[in-house]
Structure 1
Amino acid sequence: MTLKIGIIGLGQQGSMYASLLKHGAIPAFGIETGTIEGVELAAVCDISKERMQWAAENLFNVPCFENHIEMLDSCLVDAVMVVTPHYFHPTMAMDAMERDIHVLVDKPAGVYTKKVKEMNKMAESKPHLKFAMMFNQRVNPLYMKLKELMDEGTIGDIRRTNWLMTTWWRPEGYYKMSDWRATWNGEGGGVLINQAPHQIDLWQWLCGMPTKVAAKASYGSQRNIAVEDDVTAVVEYENGATGSFITCVHDLTGTDRFEIFGDKGKIIVENSNKVILKTLKDSEQNLSKNMSFEDVKKIFMGAGLGDIVTEKEFEFESKWGYEHFEVIKNFTSAITDGKELVAPGAEGIHALSITNAMHLSSWLGEEVSLPIDEDLYFEKLTEKIEEEKLSEEA
């Protein structure tokens, strides 16, 4: 039996997924993944006539629709990928679930958690359907290794986490590609909602959800946009540990460095391709209590750590496009063979909760607790949208 997949939205990402499913390759990017056995690209949908023309020229006889409801009602698809502007993700996912169609939603899950909760609730009512998120970095071998280390308690209880992720440089021209991009009304935010969701998902997937968030965000500070282009956030976890997340779109020589510090060691990730693991022979508390004066003196003199610290390095190769393909393959295997999802759709709300908390904290100028006041968030978001409309009219 062939699993028939439809794609809603043929922008940059949607057209990439269509090419992978139809041809098993994206020649322009030098990506060749091969097709997925027993899976067929059965239909595509986009409201843009230009994108429909692209589909006709590149997808060869795949039915094209301008209305996603017509595609869902066509009986041509068993599953869909939702790859549209963010506000439409929950609504279109629910439209598919309503018709007993499996759903893979591109990141983020939506713009605000109140709407995503509706999507998750419908998914709960349809346990026979597979519902997944395109968190492709969860299948990155490096982060799979980190997940294994964290689940095994290799570095003990978390004391602090820090992620400096400023490799999202975007020129002014990027924001002119689509009129919905980098707007409150069309995209629902900037770097936090567009570029950083993968890292924010990994952050909580590996380290858990924070309980408090305080963020300083700059809006249109270095780019001619209304939404955030630079963010510094500090979080607190249930055990009292702290964390920070820093990101922006205007650092041309950007940095990607992630540290997880525990009471039994530390994990350092450099450029998402190298892991440095430092483990202690005992917890830092016990070492502090039981270390002799001579041992302490050796450490202060720059020696002696070798007796209590073990260091290992791991290097990984990651290629853009392949991990997206692996998530699609996992999603289809979950439908056909009952394989466990690497990124269940219900988990999409976690990263969005942190993003919403960062926005709200910056708007209010104060620390906020999780879960946030969702009504207050929606009220403030609506104010941003109205301000944006007035600015456009002026």
Structure 2
Amino acid sequence: MRLVRVGIIGLGLMGIRYAKYFKEGKVEGAILSAVVTSRKERMDWVKETFTNKVDIYSNLDDLITSGNVDALIIATPHYHHPAAAIQAFHAGYHVLIEKPAGVYTKQVREMNEAAANSGKVFSIMYNQRTNPLYIKLRDLIESGELGEIYRTNWIVTNWYRTQSYYDAVSWRASWATDGGGVLMNQSPHQLDLWQWTTGMMPKRIRAFCHFGKYHNIEVEDDVTVYVEYENGATGVFITSTGEAPGTNRYELSGTLGKIVIEDNKLSFWRLREPIHEFNERYKDGGFKKPECWECEVPTQGEIKDGHLEVILDWIDTIRNGTPLLSPGEEGMKGLTLANAMLLSTWTDNWVELPMDEDLFYEYLIQKIQSSDRSDRHGKTH
């Protein structure tokens, strides 16, 4: 089978990283054929790095009509993802998008429909799905080792960012050009893993997002969320870019014990019998607890470069039809959680899932119109 010809849309931090993978020969089964960038310094970098072997376009339309690629990696600011992907699917190209899938679910739903109608391979850069710790956690839950989940807690506050971080790039930290803050930029991976590892989406959400709490920005930089699941389980999700030192601790309790992922380690405290059965059986009063074993759980392989692994997985699916690790359509789930958290804060109320997408979009438009960068919004779609 011939090599997959790949084009990269956007040569920012991630686009450059992906281009280097191809230059270094790390993407087996594919070559970089074209890029899209409007920045002269990026064009010059491509010419020098690839010695004029990669076509350079200043806009997506020209690349789409060139026929010089088979597949596209979209590494542009968030608002661009769905529109560019839809255009690519209509033209018959395979697509890999950067996270998040988009800014609002109405937009992403249209992208998913275009992907389904195209029959092309669609993936999203959820690189943390390649982490052996989360793969093992998902396996333990799916196999029933933890029993029925009744609580999830994730505190991920090790995203500290300085004011200069937000000031360094013009599109960051604006409703008009970025579409959100910590939920849109730093925590999409955790929002994905939260539901991917458990196989559970909340039935309702109550969130408290704080906007510009630690920085001179208009979007959220501190979030605390409480969720309820259909089976009666509850969960808490906390994230921030204003705390140092931060924490990244994911804890799940079930009828057969507790699992914690922290400091690149998975710990499993396994109950000898389900806690509800022990509760029914034990009649002697006092403070006796079920017998518990601290188990050493093996994980398969070392933590690799997840970004590269997702690209390789995507290329392998294009060439050989293997199942995708990170299907693009699943970007809707994490984005739904983020949108619902913001909507809960804006309405000061619970949000039931599936949520009111039109209501969220109405609030977002209000934020965009009052944004100090609202004039740029039209250019981001």
- TM-score, normalising length: structure 2: 0.93
2:27 alignment partner, SS class? coil
Identify the residue that residue 329 of structure 1 maps to in structure 2.
312
User: Is 1:355 aligned to 2:355, yes or no?
Assistant: no
User: Is 1:77 aligned to 2:60, yes or no?
Assistant: no
| Counterpart contact for 2:132–2:303, Cα < 8 Å | no
Cα distance in 1 for partners of 2:254, 2:206 equals: 22
User: Is 1:40 aligned to 2:31, yes or no?
Assistant: yes
List 4+ stretches of structure 1 deviating above 6 A.
315-318
Q: CA deviation at 1:389?
A: 3.5
Identify the residue that residue 388 of structure 1 maps to in structure 2.
371
1:184-333 correspondence to structure 2 within 5 Å:
184-207=175-198, 208-271=200-263, 273-291=264-282, 293=284, 299=289, 308-314=291-297, 322-333=305-316
Identify the residue that residue 367 of structure 1 maps to in structure 2.
350
| Counterpart contact for 1:134–1:327, Cα < 8 Å | yes
Cα distance in 2 for partners of 1:315, 1:384 equals: 47
Mark the CA change 1:212 to 1:42 in structure 2 (over 3 Å): closer, same or farther.
Answer: same
Cα distance in 2 for partners of 1:225, 1:162 equals: 27
Cα distance in 1 for partners of 2:184, 2:346 equals: 16
Which amino acid counterpart does residue 138 of structure 1 have in structure 2? R
Cα distance in 1 for partners of 2:20, 2:69 equals: 17
The alignment's C-alpha RMSD in Å is 1.8
Identify the residue that residue 175 of structure 1 maps to in structure 2.
166
1:247 alignment partner, SS class? strand
1:142 alignment partner, SS class? helix
Mark the CA change 1:298 to 1:384 in structure 2 (over 3 Å): closer, same or farther.
Answer: closer
Greater relative contact order (CA < 8 Å, ≥ 6 in sequence): 2
Cα distance in 1 for partners of 2:113, 2:29 equals: 30
Cα distance in 2 for partners of 1:114, 1:336 equals: 31
Which deviates the most, 36-45 or 107-116? 36-45
Identify the residue that residue 4 of structure 2 maps to in structure 1.
3
2:323 alignment partner, SS class? coil
1:5-84 correspondence to structure 2 within 5 Å:
5-24=6-25, 35-61=26-52, 62-84=54-76
Identify the residue that residue 344 of structure 1 maps to in structure 2.
327
Which amino acid counterpart does residue 328 of structure 2 have in structure 1? G
| Counterpart contact for 2:131–2:303, Cα < 8 Å | no
Q: How big is each residue's C-alpha offset from its partner over 1:78-111, in whole Å with a ceiling of 9 and x where there is no partner?
A: 0010010000100000111111100001100000
Which amino acid counterpart does residue 387 of structure 1 have in structure 2? S
| Counterpart contact for 1:274–1:314, Cα < 8 Å | no
Q: CA deviation at 1:391?
A: 9.2
Counterpart of 1:89 (choices 57, 74, 81) is 81
Q: CA deviation at 1:298?
A: 5.2
Q: CA deviation at 1:292?
A: 5.2
Cα distance in 1 for partners of 2:62, 2:148 equals: 51
Q: CA deviation at 1:318?
A: 6.2
Which amino acid counterpart does residue 362 of structure 1 have in structure 2? T
Which amino acid counterpart does residue 310 of structure 1 have in structure 2? W
| Counterpart contact for 1:19–1:59, Cα < 8 Å | no
Cα distance in 2 for partners of 1:117, 1:22 equals: 34
Identify the residue that residue 302 of structure 1 maps to in structure 2.
none
1:73 alignment partner, SS class? helix
1:192 alignment partner, SS class? helix
Mark the CA change 1:234 to 1:297 in structure 2 (over 3 Å): closer, same or farther.
Answer: closer
Q: How big is each residue's C-alpha offset from its partner over 1:119-173, in whole Å with a ceiling of 9 and x where there is no partner?
A: 111111122x101111001111111111111111111111110000001111111
Q: CA deviation at 1:55?
A: 2.1
Which amino acid counterpart does residue 225 of structure 1 have in structure 2? I
Counterpart of 2:144 (choices 143, 153, 167) is 153
Q: CA deviation at 1:250?
A: 1.1
Identify the residue that residue 132 of structure 1 maps to in structure 2.
123
Counterpart of 1:105 (choices 97, 103, 108) is 97
Identify the residue that residue 132 of structure 2 maps to in structure 1.
141
State the percentage of identical aligned residues: 44
